[in-house]
């Protein structure tokens, strides 16, 4: 029997990328093979019951989830046998994560998966990649859902922006939490997982920062290595260190009693997914919240990747983990270079809460005005729009969306769900690589909401899990943002405007923390 194409694996080169030759056949690397889940329909029903507020459904322990909904031993063995036939090494496997990690050379992976790995040059560097589809032997048809890591192009970018003028008003994360009326508490007993795809932090920076803003004792911060990546400060607030320190310092300031577990992974589709699934199924750190400030336009992802990520977030919902994802800093096109409108993924997953951006004006103790963050093409704007991948979830049913051409029914998943201060002109005071600076971007909003959820979980004594259904059912628990838009090109007829209620520029609005504590 002949090999079959792996559904959703079709890959195109980067726009304007040029193949420069075959990849080195002796180059050795690792690939993540995602195996099908057991009892898919039962899991879907379980998460749907949780979304409806059915308390009898309950959150599952990680051990119970892995046993019931993980990969079967037979499927893992089938992948292992296939690997051995092609000279590939099984370096690890995990039934709950449904992953089998294979190690081999370019030549071996070419033969095993029917691909032709080449080297590509593009605007920002080079990558090893493929064009077309992956193929599988008949015995793996239906068993394997994704093969990630053959292509090592950067999968995502961080969503933060530096304050360029130095003249704008800025705030500590604690001041932002107070402005949004976060409930009292420090998140004690909770763990926030923070996903990072580059850069690192120095403990001395954290010690100095938290002492300076009056957070004592400082939160416990642990680095978790995924796919051999490590905490590796690269230097400079404009690089990935700016993202890492922003995430840790915002979440840690708001919820200093929480444990912050920072999962460092390579910036590839395989590394990104492995970081998420490692956090979801981590029985050592046991996070109840995942904060993600990285992503890319939906159009840049393969179908197998978007399905795999969404499935990981579905698992998180079943376990009781709240997933918060920045919606992007490039307005309604999300930085896509082909002129199309785009939402950011993984913020567009219906099992994640997309976090958009606003600009706030204050009198020092209260917010006097709040609008959609939009500083133009160079300054950035909050990401948002309509997914082309995911259908409208039940909790967004009946909504409308307003853009430059008018108002119409929401036809697919709308992003973002919520918002928060993201404008670097009303940004966050942080410390990066020994320097105090001001940073904004929707990257700040995900850890801000993560700190809020940590406080709420600690108050309630149990995790709230997937929060989207409750948010849409209790819109009065958020500050509705009704002014502004996220069009930064002045040419996108579909750029989105803030309106009363949910909109694709600011979601349901920014948090009223004490009100959310009551309804979640």
CA distance 248 to 201: 9
DSSP track, 342-382: --EETTT-TTSEEEEEEEEEESSSSEEEEEE-B-HHHH-B-
CA distance 14 to 3: 27
Catalytic (active site) residue 327: no
Catalytic (active site) residue 426: no
Spatial contact of 287 and 243, defined as CB atoms under 8 Å apart: no
Sheet holding 161-162, edge to edge: 161-162, 435-440, 428-432
| C-alpha distances in Å from residue 356, one per residue of 54, 159, 252, 439 | 28, 11, 20, 15
DSSP tag of 412: E
Phi then psi dihedrals of residue 453, to 5 deg: -65, -35
Spatial contact of 99 and 33, defined as CB atoms under 8 Å apart: yes
Residues 145, 196, 243, 274: which is the catalytic one? Answer: 243
Length of the chain: 520
CA distance 112 to 84: 10
Phi then psi dihedrals of residue 264, to 5 deg: -95, 130
- Residue 138 burial (10 A CB sphere; 0-12, 13-18, 19+): exposed
| C-alpha distances in Å from residue 251, one per residue of 215, 232, 263 | 12, 20, 15
Residues 30, 247, 310, 423: which is the catalytic one? Answer: 247
508 Ramachandran zone, left/alpha/beta (phi>0; psi -120 to 50) = alpha
CA distance 80 to 90: 7
Residues 443, 487, 506, 510: which is the catalytic one? Answer: 443
Catalytic (active site) residue 227: no
By C-alpha distance, which of 475, 163, 463 is closest to 322?
Answer: 463
Instruction: Show which residues are catalytic.
Output: 243, 247, 443
């Amino acid at each position: 029997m002949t090999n079959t194409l792996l559904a959703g694996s079709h890959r195109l080169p980067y726009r304007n990328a040029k193949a420069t030759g075959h990849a080195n056949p002796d180059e050795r690397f690792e690939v993540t093979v995602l195996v099908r889940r057991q009892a898919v329909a039962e899991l879907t029903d379980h998460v749907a019951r949780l979304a409806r507020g059915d308390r009898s459904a309950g959150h599952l322990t990680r051990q119970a989830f892995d046993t019931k909904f993980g990969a079967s031993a037979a499927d893992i063995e089938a992948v292992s046998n296939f690997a051995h036939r092609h000279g590939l090494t099984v370096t690890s496997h995990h039934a709950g994560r449904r992953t089998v990690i294979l190690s081999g050379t370019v030549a071996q992976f070419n033969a095993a998966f029917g691909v032709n790995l080449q080297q590509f040059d593009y605007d920002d560097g080079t990558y090893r990649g493929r064009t077309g589809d992956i193929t599988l032997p008949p015995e793996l048809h239906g068993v394997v859902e994704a093969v990630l890591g053959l292509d090592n192009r950067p999968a995502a970018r961080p969503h933060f922006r530096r304050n360029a003028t130095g003249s704008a008003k800025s705030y500590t994360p604690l001041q932002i939490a107070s402005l949004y009326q976060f409930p009292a508490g420090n998140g004690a007993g909770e763990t926030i997982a923070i996903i990072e795809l580059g850069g690192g932090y120095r403990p001395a920076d954290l010690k100095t920062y938290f002492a300076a803003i009056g957070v004592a004792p400082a939160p416990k911060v642990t680095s978790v290595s995924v796919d051999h990546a490590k905490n590796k400060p690269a230097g400079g607030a404009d690089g990935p260190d700016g993202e890492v320190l922003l995430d840790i310092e915002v979440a840690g300031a708001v919820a200093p009693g929480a444990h912050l577990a920072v999962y460092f992974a390579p910036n590839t589709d395989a590394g990104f997914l492995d970081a998420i699934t490692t956090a979801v199924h981590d029985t050592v750190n046991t996070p109840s919240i995942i904060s993600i400030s990285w992503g890319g336009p939906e159009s840049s992802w393969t179908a197998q990747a978007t399905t795999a990520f969404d499935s990981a977030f579905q698992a998180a919902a079943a376990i009781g983990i709240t997933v918060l994802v920045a919606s992007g800093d490039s307005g309604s096109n999300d930085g896509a270079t082909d002129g199309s409108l785009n939402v950011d993924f993984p913020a567009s997953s219906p099992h994640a809460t997309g976090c958009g951006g606003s600009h706030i004006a204050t009198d020092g103790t209260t917010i006097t005005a709040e609008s959609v963050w939009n500083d133009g093409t160079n300054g950035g704007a909050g990401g948002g729009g309509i997914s082309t991948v995911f259908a409208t979830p039940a909790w967004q049913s009946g909504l409308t969306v307003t853009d430059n051409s008018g108002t119409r029914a929401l036809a697919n998943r709308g992003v973002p769900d919520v918002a928060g201060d993201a404008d670097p002109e009303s940004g966050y005071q942080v410390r990066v690589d020994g320097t105090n600076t001001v940073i904004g971007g929707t990257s700040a909003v995900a850890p801000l909401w993560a700190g809020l959820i940590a406080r709420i979980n600690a108050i309630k004594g149990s995790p709230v899990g997937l929060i989207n259904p409750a948010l849409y059912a209790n819109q009065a628990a958020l500050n509705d943002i009704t002014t502004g838009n996220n069009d930064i090109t002045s040419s996108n007829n579909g750029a989105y405007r803030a309106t009363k209620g949910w909109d694709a520029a600011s979601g349901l609005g920014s948090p009223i923390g004490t009100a959310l504590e009551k309804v979640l």
